[in-house]
């Protein structure tokens, strides 16, 4: 069985520092131009404790873009066997490359994630993450196989086939984006087959999702379903960097023998004390083909200083609340989409589907929200009014709300859900 426990603090720190030192040594000597330049001032033998980590330089997304496509690969291509990519917002995809050892580590951390969630070797894993360049599908796939599950590589889309397979195979565990998992539950309910399904565990990630969304997803599956959070990013490995466990909801266990976490102030780059919010920075301790040193993820979290359940030692971080670059500036006020999701999901009369429009037509940016009503008999003007008041209260920005009938907004069947839409002319960005 994969390790779901981790190492106690002392041996862990010893292992981490040894791995960090050998990573820095390798990066300075492997002959890769990017790393020779980035580490020209660094003496690998000066890395003797984890306290030396903040003196090492960051890696940022732009480094991957600037060295596109393969400039950060540190091994000969004869040693590499896989490539993935994530679609960048600015045109070029971010390419990541793996050696067989990297793939073995990746399978292991995904097997750990599945096992932490309660998946067993005799489970049929319904894997609804997209297969292809996206890391979600193949990441969970190899993790499931490593654990000994029977993996159904169904990928995203085609909800009718997904429901048929879920029903006929009786899968107890599904992996998918939270939005796709919700869609499957909604469709199962519409087709009146929810009661025939046996799904108990959802391994949900790749998108931010709030606690309110967790409740919506669990309710949509009709009770008896635990929605658990899995975190990861292509630049570091893909899914399987950190995983939530059912006995410790709200915390992600970082597999810190492979991925060394820090949290820094997004502005200054200074490490913040444990417990304080900031940007997650990750160092890959064992990656061969494309390691990253102090990679600025852009994801906002904090290190949870208190120990989790006894006998489990992983570094715990809070579930991600969004990305620093998600922040919208509206009339000089910073607004995070997650704040809006929280207000909507906390309201019992609102459904689980919503979209935020950032209207840039006028001289001042305006925000508005469209959300589906839930299963409710409440009066629309009353709910609208209430939501607008709470949004004003929380965001300090006027945010008109339009409530639409349940099921009337488009659903994302493949890939990551899009919640924020820009409006630049009179065409309604929500169609």
What is d(CA 144, CA 405) in angstroms, rounded to the nearest whole number? 38
Contact pick of 102, 229, 262, 279 for ligand DLL (by CB under 6 A): 229
Closest CB 60 distance from ligand DLL, rounded Å: 13
* Sign, Cα dihedral of 327, 333, 338, 344: negative
Contact pick of 144, 202, 208, 337 for ligand DLL (by CB under 6 A): 208
230 sits near ligand DLL (criterion: CB under 6 A)? yes
- H/E element, 420: strand 420-423
234 sits near ligand DLL (criterion: CB under 6 A)? yes
287-316 binders of ligand DLL (CB under 6 A): 297, 299
**Residue closest to 129 by CA, chosen among 173, 89, 193, 72:** 173
Give 6 or 239: the residue with its C-beta nearer to ligand DLL.
239
Give 136 or 374: the residue with its C-beta nearer to ligand DLL.
136
**Partner residues linked to 152 by β-bridges:** 126
Q: Tokens 């490593």, residue?
A: 146
Closest CB 241 distance from ligand DLL, rounded Å: 8
Instruction: Give 342-346's long-range contacts (Cβ < 8 A, gap of 24+).
Output: 342/210, 342/211, 342/212, 342/394, 343/387, 343/390, 343/391, 343/394, 344/212, 344/369, 344/371, 344/387, 345/210, 345/211, 345/212, 345/213, 345/215, 345/216, 346/212, 346/390
63 sits near ligand DLL (criterion: CB under 6 A)? no
Tell me the window of 14-22, 55-63, 231-239, 356-364 that interacts with ligand DLL (CB under 6 A): 231-239
Burial 109-133 (b: 16+ CB within 10 A, else e): bbbbbbbbbbbeeebbbbbbbbeeb
Tell me the window of 44-52, 65-73, 74-82, 234-242 that interacts with ligand DLL (CB under 6 A): 234-242
Report residue 381 as tokens.
């003007």
Closest CB 197 distance from ligand DLL, rounded Å: 22
Contact pick of 232, 261, 266, 374 for ligand DLL (by CB under 6 A): 232
156 sits near ligand DLL (criterion: CB under 6 A)? no
330 sits near ligand DLL (criterion: CB under 6 A)? no
- What residues line the site for ligand DLL (CB under 6 A)? 86, 129, 135-136, 205-208, 229-234, 238-239, 297, 299, 320, 323
């Amino acid at each position: 069985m994969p390790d779901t426990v981790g190492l106690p603090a002392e041996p862990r720190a010893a292992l981490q520092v040894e791995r960090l030192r050998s990573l820095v040594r390798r990066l300075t000597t492997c002959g890769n131009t990017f790393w020779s330049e980035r580490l020209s001032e660094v003496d690998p033998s000066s890395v003797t404790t984890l306290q030396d980590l903040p003196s090492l330089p960051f890696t940022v997304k732009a480094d991957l873009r600037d060295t596109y496509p393969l400039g950060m690969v540190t091994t000969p291509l004869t040693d590499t066997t896989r490539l993935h990519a994530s679609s960048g917002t600015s045109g070029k995809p971010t390419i990541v490359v793996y050696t067989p050892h990297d793939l073995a580590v990746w399978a292991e951390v995904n097997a750990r994630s599945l096992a932490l969630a309660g998946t067993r070797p005799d489970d049929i894993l319904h894997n609804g993450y997209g297969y292809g360049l996206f890391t979600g599908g193949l990441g969970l796939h190899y993790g499931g196989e490593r654990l000994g599950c029977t993996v159904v590589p169904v990928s995203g889309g085609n909800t009718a086939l997904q429901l048929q397979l879920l029903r006929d195979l009786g899968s107890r565990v599904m992996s998918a984006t939270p939005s796709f998992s919700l869609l499957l539950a909604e469709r199962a309910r519409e087709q009146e087959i929810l009661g025939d399904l046996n799904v108990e565990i959802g391994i949900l990630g790749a998108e931010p999702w709030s606690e309110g969304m967790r409740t919506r997803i669990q309710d949509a599956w009709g009770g008896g379903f635990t929605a658990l959070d899995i975190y990861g990013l292509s630049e570091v490995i893909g899914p399987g960097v950190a995983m939530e466990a059912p006995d410790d909801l709200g915390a992600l266990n970082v597999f810190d023998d492979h991925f060394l976490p820090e949290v820094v102030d997004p502005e200054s780059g200074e490490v913040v004390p444990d417990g304080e919010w900031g940007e997650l920075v990750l160092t890959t301790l064992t990656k061969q083909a494309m390691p990253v040193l102090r990679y600025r993820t852009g994801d906002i979290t904090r290190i949870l200083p208190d120990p989790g359940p006894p006998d489990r030692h992983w570094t715990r971080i809070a579930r991600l609340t969004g990305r620093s670059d998600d922040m919208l500036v509206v009339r000089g006020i910073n607004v995070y989409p997650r704040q809006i999701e929280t207000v909507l999901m906390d309201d019992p009369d609102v459904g689980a589907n919503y979209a935020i429009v950032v209207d840039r037509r006028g001289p001042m940016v305006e925000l508005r929200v469209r959300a589906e009503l839930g299963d409710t008999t409440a009066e629309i003007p009353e709910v609208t009014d209430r939501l607008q008041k709470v949004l004003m209260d929380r965001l300090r920005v006027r945010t008109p709300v339009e409530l639409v009938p349940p099921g009337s907004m488009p659903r994302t069947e493949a890939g990551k859900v899009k919640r924020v839409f820009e409006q630049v002319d009179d065409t309604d960005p929500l169609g």
